[in-house]
Chain A
Amino acid sequence: MSFLNYLVSGLSLGSIYAIIALGYTMVYGIAKMLNFAHGDVIMIGGYMCFFAVQRFNLPPVLGVIIAMLACTLLGIIIERLAYKPLRSAPSLAVLITAIGVSYFLQNAAQLLWSSNPKVFKSVVGNGVLTIGGEGGLIVSHVALLTVVVCVIIMVGLTLFVNKTKMGKAMRAVSEDKGAAQLMGIDVNRTISITFAIGSGLAAIAGVLLCSAYPTLQPTTGSMPGIKAFTAAVFGGIGSIPGAFLGGILLGVIENLAKAYISTQLSDAIVFGVLIVVLLVKPAGLLGKAVREKV
C-alpha cells in the first residue's frame, strides 16, 4: 500500500512538472528558444490567484481565470519587449535575455510582495479520497485534479497543434521560419500566440503547484521550472507527448527514489537517469533526431 501511495504522490508531482514542461516545450518547439523565465511566470500566476482569492475573496475559479489572463498578458509583454527585438539575433543572446527576464521577475516580485512566504489556500480544498479504508490508499483532491488537468491540457494541445489552422502555422514556423513567411504565415504573430498559450499554461501550473505545495514566495517557480525543463529534455524537447511523459516519469522517479533509496540523493538519481537516457537517446525519449544539413 505504501508503494501505491508513493506512486500517487509521484504522479501528482509529475503532472505538475508535465504542465510546466508543456509550456517549455511549446515555446521551444515553435520559437526555438529556451524561455527560462517560464518558471517565474508560474510564480506570478500563483501570486495573482493568491491575491484574487485570499485578498479580494473572489471564488477560486475566478482566481484561476484572473491568473491566466494576467500571465497571458505578461507573456505577450515579455515577448514583445524582450524577445521580439532579438528575433534575428543569435540564440545565445535570446537565452541570456531569458535569464535576465527571470531575474527581473523574481526581484520585481520581491519588491512588490516582499520576500516573506505566503501560504496559498488550495483552490479545491484539502480534502482526500481514501481507498481501501484505514491505512489504505490516500489520494488528495489536489493530486487528482492535477493529473486530470494535465491530461486534458496535453490532449488539448496536441489537437490544437495538429488540427487547427493556427496549429498548422505553428508547425510550419517550427520547421522553417523563412519558408513559412514566404508562404504567407505571419511568423511574429504565430510566435506571440505561442507565448500567450505557454504563459496561460504557466498560470494553471502555478495555481496547481501552489495548491499542492502551499507556500508562495518569489523563488517558488525557479526550482520546479528547472525540473520541468529537465523533464522536457528527458521526453524530447519540442514534443508535446514527450513533455508529458518526461514530466510524469521525473516525478515518479523522484518520489520512488526518495522513498526507497535515499531522501537526500533523490535529485542525483533523477539527473543520473536523465544522463543515461540522453546517452542512449540524445534527442530524448520521444524526440525526433533532426539531421543538420551542412
Chain B
Amino acid sequence: MKKFLAVMLAVAMVFCMAACGDKQEANDGSANITDGAGMVFKVGATGPLTGGAAIYGQAVKAGAEIAVEEVNAMGGFQFDFNMQDDAHDAEKAVNAYNDLKDWGMQFMMGTTTSAPGEAVSAEAYADRMFFLTPSASSTDVIKGKDNVFQMCFTDPNQGTGSAQYMYEHNMGTNIGIIYKSDDNYSMGVYNTFKAKAAELKLNVVAEAAFTDATSTDFTVQVKQMQDAGVDLVFLPMYYTPASLIFAQAAATGYTPTWFGIDGMDGILTLEGFDTALAEGVILLTPYSADADSSENKNFVEKYKAKTGELPNQFAADAYDCIYALWKAVDQSGVTADMSSEEICEALVKTFTSMSFNGLTGSNMTWATDGTVSKSPNAMVIKNGAYVGM
C-alpha cells in the first residue's frame, strides 16, 4: 500500500517537475541571449534528497553547490547545476534523469547512490550523456559503459585494499565480517574482501549479515563474533549501523579492533555519538575533513557555513566532481552550443587522458573502464579525531 502511494506521489511529482523544468528552460534560454558573455553548461544530478538515504544526497548537493559557486565566480564559462531527488530509488532516478534531459542537461554529475546509478548510467550510456558519479561505487554502474566514470573508489577496490592492508600490517589473527546483505555497496566490498582474504590466507572465522529491516539490533551478530573469538571485525557499511554495533558491543564488554571503509567516515560528527566508542577504529578512506591543506580548509569552512555540519566523503567527492568536470570542459574546448552527444565524446577523450588534483586525492587519473586511481589513506580514530597511520 505504501509503495503504491509512493509511486502515485512520484508520478505527481514528475508532472510538477516537468512543468517547472519547462519554465526554467525558457528563462535560462532568454538569459543566455541577453547575457551574451560566457557559456552556460547545464549540469544535472540526482540523489536521495528525501528518505532514508537523504543524508548522502544532501551532502552531495551541498558539496557540489559550493564548487559550482566557486567555479562560476572565476568567470569564464558557467555551470548551471540542477539536482533532482531520486529518494534512492532506481525508478524515480530514471524519471528524474528524463526530466533533467528535458531541462536541457548537457552532462551529468551522476547519481549519488549505487542502485539508482545502475539504472541511470544504462540510460546515459544509450543516450551518450557524459556521466561522472561522485559516490555510486558499485562496479555495475560503470561496467561496459565507456562514458561513465566514478570519483569514488569502486567497491572491489575497497575490499581488496582492506584485505591487503590487514595482510601487510599483520592485523587480526581471527577476522570476522559483519555486512549488510541487501546493500550493493556492502555486498560489493564484502565479496571482494572475502576473495582477496582467501587469496592472502587471512583467517576469516565468522561472518554475520543484516538487512535494512534488521539494522537496529546487532546483539546477535556481536555475540557471534565474540563467541568465535574474533579480534578484528571488518565492517563494510555506512556509519549509522556501525555506531549501533559499537554501542552494543561495548555494552557486552566486547572490544575487538574495528576496521571500516569510506562509509565509516562521518561517525565522529554523528550528533550525540560518544566518540569514546569509536576509539581505535581503523578506516580506509580517501578523504578526511581535518586534512591540513588550504583547499580543504576553505571547503570545510564553506560547508560548515552552508549546512552547519562537517563535510563527509560524499560532499568532498561531489566537490571534486564539479572541479573535474570544469577541468575536462576547459581542456577539451567543448562549447555550450554543442549537443550532449558531441560533448560526451570530447569529455570521454579528455577524462581518460587528464590527471586531476582534488580534495580526495592528488594526481587522480581515470581508466577507460571508468574507475579512478587514487590511494586510500588508513586513518585511526584517536581521542575523537581521525589520525593518519
A263 to B56, CA, bound (A): 26
A255 to B216, CA, bound (A): 12
For residue A2, CB closer than 8 A to chain B, the reply is yes
> A266 near B55 (CB under 8 angstroms)?
no
A207 CB, min distance to chain B CBs, angstroms: 14
Taking CB atoms, residues of chain B closer than 8 Å to A120 are 272
Taking CB atoms, residues of chain A closer than 8 Å to B211 are 264, 267
> B270 near A126 (CB under 8 angstroms)?
no
> B244 near A213 (CB under 8 angstroms)?
yes
> B55 near A115 (CB under 8 angstroms)?
yes
> B220 near A263 (CB under 8 angstroms)?
yes
For residue A13, CB closer than 8 A to chain B, the reply is yes
> B270 near A264 (CB under 8 angstroms)?
no
Query: Known: A9-B217, A263-B221. Is A117-B270 also a contact (CB below 8 A)?
Result: yes
Query: Known: A99-B5, A264-B211. Is A259-B220 also a contact (CB below 8 A)?
Result: yes
- With both beta carbons as reference points, the residue of chain A lying nearest to B178 in the complex is identified as A263
Q: Which of B216-250 contact A (CB under 8 A)?
A: 216-217, 219-221, 223-224, 227, 240, 243-244, 247, 250
Taking CB atoms, residues of chain A closer than 8 Å to B251 are 126, 128, 138, 140
A residues neighboring B (CB under 8 Å): 2, 5-6, 9, 13, 36, 50, 54, 95-96, 99-100, 102-103, 107, 110, 114-121, 126, 128, 138, 140, 209, 212-215, 217, 219, 223-224, 227, 254-255, 258-259, 262-264, 266-267
Query: Known: A215-B216, A255-B220. Is A138-B273 also a contact (CB below 8 A)?
Result: no
Q: How many residues of B contact A (CB 8 A)?
A: 40
B134 CB, min distance to chain A CBs, angstroms: 17
- With both beta carbons as reference points, the residue of chain B lying nearest to A256 in the complex is identified as B220
- With both beta carbons as reference points, the residue of chain B lying nearest to A134 in the complex is identified as B253
> A214 near B252 (CB under 8 angstroms)?
no
Taking CB atoms, residues of chain A closer than 8 Å to B210 are 263-264
Query: Known: A2-B223, A213-B244, A259-B220. Is A115-B5 also a contact (CB below 8 A)?
Result: no
A12 CB, min distance to chain B CBs, angstroms: 8
Taking CB atoms, residues of chain B closer than 8 Å to A50 are 272
Taking CB atoms, residues of chain B closer than 8 Å to A96 are 1, 5
> B272 near A115 (CB under 8 angstroms)?
no
Q: Which of B260-277 contact A (CB under 8 A)?
A: 270-274
Query: Known: A9-B217, A140-B251. Is A118-B5 also a contact (CB below 8 A)?
Result: no
Query: Known: A115-B55, A121-B272, A264-B209. Is A215-B217 also a contact (CB below 8 A)?
Result: no
Q: Which of B46-54, B124-132, B157-165, B374-382 forms contacts with chain A?
A: B46-54
A232 to B5, CA, bound (A): 23
In the A-B complex, the 10 residue pairs with the closest CB atoms: A115-B54, A119-B272, A213-B216, A9-B219, A119-B273, A118-B271, A258-B220, A264-B209, A263-B209, A219-B52
Taking CB atoms, residues of chain B closer than 8 Å to A259 are 220, 223-224
> A116 near B55 (CB under 8 angstroms)?
yes
A215 CB, min distance to chain B CBs, angstroms: 6
> A263 near B55 (CB under 8 angstroms)?
no
Taking CB atoms, residues of chain B closer than 8 Å to A107 are 50
- With both beta carbons as reference points, the residue of chain A lying nearest to B218 in the complex is identified as A213
A102 to B5, CA, bound (A): 11
Chain A proximity mask over B57-83: 1 for CB below 8 Å, otherwise 0 = 010000000000000000000000000
> B250 near A6 (CB under 8 angstroms)?
no
> B54 near A255 (CB under 8 angstroms)?
no
Taking CB atoms, residues of chain B closer than 8 Å to A6 are 219-220, 223
Taking CB atoms, residues of chain B closer than 8 Å to A266 are 214
Supply 18 further A-B pairs (C-beta < 8 A) apart from A117-B243, A121-B272, A263-B221.
A6-B219, A9-B217, A9-B219, A9-B220, A99-B5, A100-B5, A115-B58, A117-B271, A128-B253, A212-B217, A214-B247, A215-B243, A223-B212, A223-B216, A224-B216, A259-B223, A263-B208, A263-B220
> B213 near A126 (CB under 8 angstroms)?
no
A95 to B5, CA, bound (A): 11
A6 to B244, CA, bound (A): 17
Taking CB atoms, residues of chain B closer than 8 Å to A128 are 251-253
> A116 near B271 (CB under 8 angstroms)?
yes
Taking CB atoms, residues of chain A closer than 8 Å to B50 are 107, 110, 115
A138 to B250, CA, bound (A): 12
Question: Of B51, B214, B247, which is within 8 A of A267 by CB?
Answer: B214
Taking CB atoms, residues of chain A closer than 8 Å to B2 are 36, 99, 102
Q: Which of B113-155 contact A (CB under 8 A)?
A: none
Chain A proximity mask over B96-128: 1 for CB below 8 Å, otherwise 0 = 000000000000000000000000000000000
> B247 near A126 (CB under 8 angstroms)?
yes
B183 CB, min distance to chain A CBs, angstroms: 12
Taking CB atoms, residues of chain A closer than 8 Å to B227 are 2
Q: List 12 A-B contacts (CB under 8 A).
A: A2-B223, A2-B227, A100-B5, A103-B9, A115-B54, A115-B55, A138-B253, A215-B216, A215-B243, A224-B216, A258-B220, A263-B208
Taking CB atoms, residues of chain A closer than 8 Å to B220 are 6, 9, 255, 258-259, 263
Taking CB atoms, residues of chain A closer than 8 Å to B257 are none
A138 to B51, CA, bound (A): 36
Taking CB atoms, residues of chain A closer than 8 Å to B271 are 116-119
For residue B255, CB closer than 8 A to chain A, the reply is no
